[in-house]
Structure 1
Amino acid sequence: MTQSKKSSRKPRIIVSDIDHKRLINLAADAYDRFPEAAEELQIELDRARIVPAASVPADVVRMGSTVAFRSDSAQQRRVTLVFPGEADIAQNRISILTPIGAALIGLSTGQSIAWTARDGRKHELTVVSVEQPSPVTGAMVPESS
């Protein structure tokens, strides 16, 4: 089928079991206030391959990762993917409940994805690099917040 275009196909993504559980709950809680964002996040989580947190490769975007990406306008940005309460655009901390935040989760270095901004415009981004946060308390991550 020659009908499919590269940008219409979403890349394979990986999400840790811990992030998956927290993000599924976040999406469910956000449906009343942010239905479009919650639905987009849910779609991404539904297509993700879920793996134990210790098995997520270092170059995969997860919660707390700092990501450098190039947009379709050739602009490069560096952002940290965070939960809504930690978002601060002035510090380049973007919420998972934004279209670009939901698009980034689970991608790895070199992958590209098409996403739709809140204004309805279509964009594409490519992950250039991923940095993981330094563990504060070792490998233990609380399961509930």
Structure 2
Amino acid sequence: MQHNTKTRRKPNIRISKSDHARLSALANTVAARNPEAVDELLAELERARVVADGWVSAGTVRMGSTVTFKPDTGDAKTVTLVFPGEADISEGKVSILTPIGTALIGLSAGQSIMWIARDGRRHELSVLAVDQPAPETGTADWRAPASSTIAADV
């Protein structure tokens, strides 16, 4: 059996200006604690085409998107791409700082990408569908709130 040893070029990706800014700030904040994840994220941010927030199509993976993809390891999976504090694999919420989260950002339905798992193995995934969150739900900011006081209507 012959293996394709030629390195495949990564697909073109688009990231909104606001996601790019938030992810760059996140990367700078956690760089000392998680350098490997940050290096991959920064590489994706550097190669991405940064576009105005309204210019990212609904079929493009951005923060808060729910993505259905087919990994080379088995059946299709559906996950939501979130900031680290929101990650919960039991709920299908995958952190942008995981190898698969970093691989997904900016891809569109129909695109495939090669990515490297934490164990060093190379994998490929293909994006099948992308759904965006309802505007009122959005994705929580990864930073702590400016104030810990919460006002309630009484």
Deviating runs (4+, > 3 A) in structure 1? 141-145
2:119 aligned partner? 119
User: 2:15 aligns to what SS in structure 1?
Assistant: strand
Task: Compute the displacement of 1:74 (Å).
Answer: 3.5
Q: Indicate the SS of the match to 1:8.
A: coil
Query: Is the CA contact 1:86–1:95 (under 8 Å) kept in the aligned structure 2?
Result: yes
Aligned residue in 2 for 1:99: 99
TM-score by length of 1: 0.90
Task: Tell me if the contact between 1:18 and 1:143 (Cα under 8 Å) persists in the aligned partners.
Answer: no
Q: How far apart are residue 48 of structure 1 and its match?
A: 0.2
Q: What SS does the corresponding residue of 1:54 show, helix, strand or coil?
A: helix
Preserved CA contact (<8 Å) 2:115 2:122:
yes
Paired letter, 1:98:
T
TM-score when normalising by structure 2: 0.85
Q: Check conservation: 1:62, 1:106, Cα contact below 8 A.
A: yes
Per the alignment, residue 17 of structure 1 pairs with: 17
Deviation larger for 65-74 or 103-112: 65-74
Q: Which runs of 5+ in 1 are unaligned?
A: none
Distance 2:70 2:140 in 1: 32
Name 1:71's counterpart in structure 2. 71
2:80 corresponding residue in structure 1: 80
Change (3 A) 1:135 1:126: same
The alpha-carbon deviation at position 8 of structure 1 amounts to 2.3
Alpha-carbon distance between aligned partners in 2 of 1:81 and 1:110, rounded to the nearest angstrom: 18
Q: Confirm whether residue 32 of structure 1 aligns to residue 43 of structure 2.
A: no
Aligned-partner Cα distance in 2 for 1:115–1:72 = 11
Alpha carbons of structure 1 residues 4 and 119: separation in structure 2 relative to 1, 3 Å: closer
Within-5 A mapping of 1:3-14? 5=6, 8-14=8-14
Runs (5+) with no aligned partner, structure 2: 144-154
Cα distance change of structure 1 residues 9 and 54 upon mapping to structure 2, 3 Å threshold? same
Asked which structure has the greater CA Rg, the reply is: 2
CA distance in 1, matches of 2:140, 2:117: 32
Q: Percent identity?
A: 56
